[in-house]
Amino acid sequence: MSSQVCFAKGMTARRHIGTLLVLRAEEHVRQRAHTEYLQADTVCRQNRENGRLKSKDKGSPEPGPVPKGQIRLYSMRFCPFAQRTRLVLNAKGIKHEVINIQLRDKPEWFLKKNPLGLVPLLETAAGELIYESPITCEYLDEEYPGRKLLPSTPYGRAQQKMMLENFSKILPLTYKIPMGRQKGEEVSALVDELKEKFGKLNEDLEKKKSKFFGGDGVSMIDYLMWPWFERLEAFKLTDCLDGAPGLQKWVERMSEDPVVKACRHSLDTYEAYYKTYIEGKPNFDYGL
């Protein structure tokens, strides 16, 4: 057998082995991703049931220590700020428990934990307390392993913080418009302002040429912005997206995200709750 033939056969064998190694590596990645998905899905379902407990009000006994290996979230089922933290907890598959708070009649012990009286509030097994929704989400992403939601570079993280700061200017409009309509006030100027701001978001997204605000996968900024878009239909504000096709597609993509699906309420539930909210008598335990 000539040396050229031997060399050719050797090269073929090495290519075959290389192909097998690549296929095995790809299969390992797929299996690991599937396992992580199943684990996260199990945690999501457990946490969803956990979050259906009725709210604790003034006079309620203080809960005991946070179980080892868990973290506790003090929440309110319909609060968009607390939903941010729930989204991150579920996205990372973090085992946690939820205690819902009656925000119009807060327990005394809750006010000792957070003098501001606001949710979300995280409590660790060591008794550490973290509040303010962006801070809780950043803490969870840094403290827990697994899927990372924040960008890996300082500039990338700074960009997302700037986007969040700009987005915060939009939030008051999503409340002022439905409240104004309920009172019979003229809100056309507010609607135009919201459309303008959505148009700017649309431009920012189209400039990125990506599916989501953080890239081609859902990241922290997407989860931090999502809760208010989830409520647009209940607030009768979906028409404000008519001039923002890129943003509309983002909403469609986010609606299909498994974590978003695990943390959302039905439209009927949102409409019924926000009716009580606008009337000044919010039913925090609606549907339980």
Catalytic residues: 79
* Phi/psi of residue 98, nearest 5 degrees: -120, 135
Mark 9-35 as b/e (b = at least 16 C-beta within 10 Å): eeeeeeeeeeeeeeeeeeeeeeeeeee
As a whole number of angstroms, the distance between CA 168 and CA 75 comes to 20
Separation in Å, CA 54 to CA 39, 57, 152, 284: 26, 9, 38, 8
Listed residue (141, 104, 103, 143) closest to 119, CA to CA:
103
Report the SS3 class of residue 74: strand
As a whole number of angstroms, the distance between CA 166 and CA 23 comes to 45
**Dihedral sign from CA coordinates of 192, 198, 204, 209:** negative
* Residue 256 CB neighbour total at 10 angstroms: 8
Cross-sheet strand order for the sheet of 121-124: 96-100, 71-75, 121-124, 129-131
Burial of 97 (0-12, 13-18, 19+ CB in 10 A): middle
* Strand 71-75 with 96-100, pairing: parallel
For residues 59 and 111, the answer to whether their CB atoms sit within 8 Å is no
Listed residue (216, 226, 214) closest to 162, CA to CA:
214
